[in-house]
Amino acid sequence: MQLYRLALVAVTATAIAGGVAANEDVINMQSDPSNWAMQLGNYQGHRYSQLDQIDTGNVGDLQVKWTFSTGVLRGHEGGPIVVGDTMYIHTPVPNIVYALDLNDNGRIIWSYEPRQDPSVIPVMCCDTVNRGVAVADGKVFLAQADNTVVALDAKTGEPIWSVKNGDHARGETLTAAPVVVRDKVFIGISGGEFGVRGSLTAYNTNDGSRVWRAYSTGPDSEALIDPNKTMMMGKPIGEADLGVSTWNGDEWKIGGGTTWGWYTYDPDLDLIYYGTGNPGTWNPAQRALNGERVDNKWSMSIFARDPDTGLAKWVYQKTPFDEWDYDGINENILADIEIGGQMRKVLVNFDRNGFGYTLDRETGELLVAEKFDPTVNWASHVDMATGRPVVLDQYSTFVQGEDVNTEGVCPAALGSKDQQPASFSPDTGLFYVPTNHICMDYEPFAVSYSSGQPYIGATLSMFPAPNSHGGMGNFIAWDAAKGEIVWSKPEPFAVWSGALTTAGGVAFYGTLEGYVVGVDMEDGEELYRFKTPSGIIGNINTYEHNGQQYIGVLSGVGGWAGIGLAAGLTGDSEGLGAVGAHKALGDYTRLGGVLTVFGLPN
């Protein structure tokens, strides 16, 4: 614990000296454990807190201290941000932001509710979610569904500047939480199911002017790749414009690779990391080249980029020529762990495709790639020499140059883990991962592109994985050095909330039925369970105020897993297949939008 605190202080000192490595305000806020200053806890994405007042001995005594209704239904992803005496929370569309006074049990200091064109709602693929705000330099940054990026005055809620990042008439929307590095705020884009071309954009935090944009597909000049300098699997890419040549004709222009997940940052290496999503369309035959598989670069990839220029230092593609919608946007957690007797600066990614990846975050070298769900069957393993998955023909949806109906593919398109972020504890050296345990039948079909219209090209049916006894979720502890599950705790439904670990030895997560669960980080023993008013797809956070530690979470069922309840869908194949898998969820919870704050008895 002391070593972790010393390391954090050292990072802070490095960042502040000369102001080169990070935003000083962000570093200062996240280095104070009383705050929860970023959606992922810190730049490295640990979702870990040094607070230890709540521990394995007393977590069972937690009680509700106060609650706050957001006034909005549908899925509440992301979580509260706490800086000093103020908590900032957000809602799904209409994307209200509240500043709450922690000295007065959540009294509203100010609220901001943007006016948005209601026609944006139908082009939001998997519920009207938003993953939260960023706070830095006296501003609150919000990415609205209608593609407006706005900077609000943190004290008053008044808009300082706003800029358009896309056009919902083309299927582009915003759902991801922004991240601030130095004088830039980073924004992705959603809409891979509408033929949107993915990108990451850097805006100046002072005035909203655009600094750079890196596309996920297309020529190197637009993807900000230097094939002679950008590394892939330990050597320069070498060949130019793979973002064009690895696509069928002009499919790269509507090629997906959207960037609606999470962004992490290493202040020492000065690199920002993020993932790109599925290629459009879901029908692989339309993306094949001369009837053959082709990588569809740079969809389904992890990028490491220079935050000032956007230039890619390295890239690693996890699922080339994706045939199953294994959207590659999940968070990239940065940690220092021992592998083979040597301390390594690593990036750990739990992909939708069911593999847990450990890479050297400086070079992109692949160190470990193993299944974190034993039911994964679409590939036998990852070839460590090439970094490519070895696909099993039985579960391919593209055979002999044609799309085919395929049954029993594990995981489903929901993935062994979706966007719900995992946590890393420096105390145990383990990663704590909310996972799904669902399989699918996949039926591709030909689809034509029309701007602003769905460009999916597949029908899915989802169901619990075999031998899961009806359970569709697991909360696991993962050893990223060995690529092994240390322990696993099953849940009836997919675990769709972000995890939290603490110095008190307790890991927290939420369930789709609405339970906040606390477990012993050493063995997964359940220590606490409390049911909130609605299902939890938000991320559990913790903070300290007036000397007392609190746990906070937004509950409000929805997201892709809960889209049936959120949007009133009932058909098994509706909600891109998710409705059938979670048909029983309505027996346990209903829509809501509530912040619940827990603490120990006074």
Q: Which residues are catalytic?
A: 325
Q: Please provide the distance, in angstroms rounded to a whole number, between the alpha carbons at the two ends of the chain.
A: 27
Give all domains of the chain, ordered by start, each with its CATH number: 2-599 (2.140.10.10)
- The secondary element (H helix, E strand) that includes residue 580 is helix 578-581
Mean of pLDDT over the chain? 95
State the pLDDT at residue 601. Answer: 97
What are the pLDDT digits (tens) for 209-261? 999 999 999 999 999 999 999 999 999 999 999 999 999 999 999 999 999 99
Mean pLDDT of 64-73: 98
CA dist 395 and 391 (Å) reads 8
pLDDT band at residue 568, thresholds of 50, 70 and 90?
very high
pLDDT band at residue 596, thresholds of 50, 70 and 90?
very high
CA dist 197 and 195 (Å) reads 6
State the pLDDT at residue 470. Answer: 64
Q: Where are the alpha helices (DSSP H) in 241-355?
A: 242-245
Residue 18 confidence (pLDDT) above 90: no
What are the pLDDT digits (tens) for 450-462? 999 999 999 999 9
pTM for this entry? 0.96
Q: Are 602 and 111 in contact (CB under 8 A)?
A: no
Mean pLDDT check: name the lowest of 164-168, 465-469, 578-582, 589-593. 465-469
CA dist 155 and 86 (Å) reads 9
CA dist 178 and 39 (Å) reads 9
Q: Kindly state the percentage of the chain with pLDDT values over 70.
A: 96
User: For the stretch 591-601, what's the b/e string if a residue is b when 16 or more beta carbons lie within 10 angstroms of its beta carbon?
Assistant: bbbbbbbbbbe
State the pLDDT at residue 1. Answer: 43
pLDDT band at residue 362, thresholds of 50, 70 and 90?
very high
Q: Are strands 594-599 and 548-555 parallel, antiparallel or unpaired?
A: antiparallel
